Amino acid sequence: MTQPFKSIAVIGKYMNQLALQQMQTDLADLARHLKAKKIEVWIEENTAKYAELTGFNKASLATIGSKVDLAIVMGGDGTMLSVARSLIDNDIPLVGINRGRFGFLTDLRAEDMLGAVDRVLSNRYQIESRMLINASVIRGGKTIQQGLAFNDVVIKGGLRLIEIAVEINGFFVHKQRADGIILSTPTGTTAYALSAGGPILHPSLEAIAIVPVCPHTLSNRPIAVNSSSLIQITMIQTDDGQLSYDGQFQMLLESGDRVLVQRAEKQVRLLHPSEYCYFDMLRNKLNWG
């Protein structure tokens, strides 16, 4: 049988030295396992350094995507979010091994990883595409910030409520005072949006969820719109508002700023063993009966 992947990147929770030391054994077992199968193994440089992995190729996160045709990410969902955005231009599929808390994106268990990886390497896998959203901040008629989010774009205040106006495709929807608002991909609906009372959207849906956070008017409810929509959030009043992408990048907002959110052109490809079922994952992660 033809080997589907000739060169594979191994990336741990690359920004956390302590976490990498704690998963050192798992990372080493995985890298050696791949190498024994005559696969060219590349280790992200911080992963190699702090997990003390020697005898393998090393590269920075910025360059490793150009050297491989698959990336295996070990950590939590936050690590997967960061790696997915960093490698988006390389269009390589990602496999996630969970060493975090929930593991909605990193769905393989560390104790089962070698067998699961073997099934993937034997062409027994399924692949799915997940949409991203792009958010631009307009101030004084100029774009001052632009970025991608895999989970969500969040606008929040600090100690005070913010006041915002929401438009969709140029049509006014409402004004509201709230702690904030979440613009979520289907992937992100099992993250912060879920905690804020938003719906769970299946990852295959072409939609963006708009979820208020503690709205002052209780009639403000979450809604979902087609992913082709252009959503504009205007900051009417904010003293300490801020915008974040996947909770990993933040910038301060000012009254009068406009945040434009729409579907990004590029997608993330996630690869799962052939027996993977999204609903099984939900049932296990959310403790459904």
Q: Compute the distance between CA of residue 85 and CA of residue 78 in angstroms, rounded to an integer.
A: 11
Using CA atoms, how far residue 242 sits from 40, 50, 55, 134, 212, in Å, is 43, 33, 44, 16, 15
Q: Compute the distance between CA of residue 152 and CA of residue 187 in angstroms, rounded to an integer.
A: 9
Active centre residues (catalytic): 77
| Bridge partner residues of 184 (DSSP) | 152, 209
Task: Report the relative pairing of strands 142-149 and 125-139 from DSSP bridges.
Answer: antiparallel
* Helices 113-121 + 24-36 axis angle, to 10: 30
Measured between its terminal Cα atoms, the distance across the chain in Å is 40
Q: Compute the distance between CA of residue 257 and CA of residue 35 in angstroms, rounded to an integer.
A: 51
Q: Compute the distance between CA of residue 68 and CA of residue 54 in angstroms, rounded to an integer.
A: 19
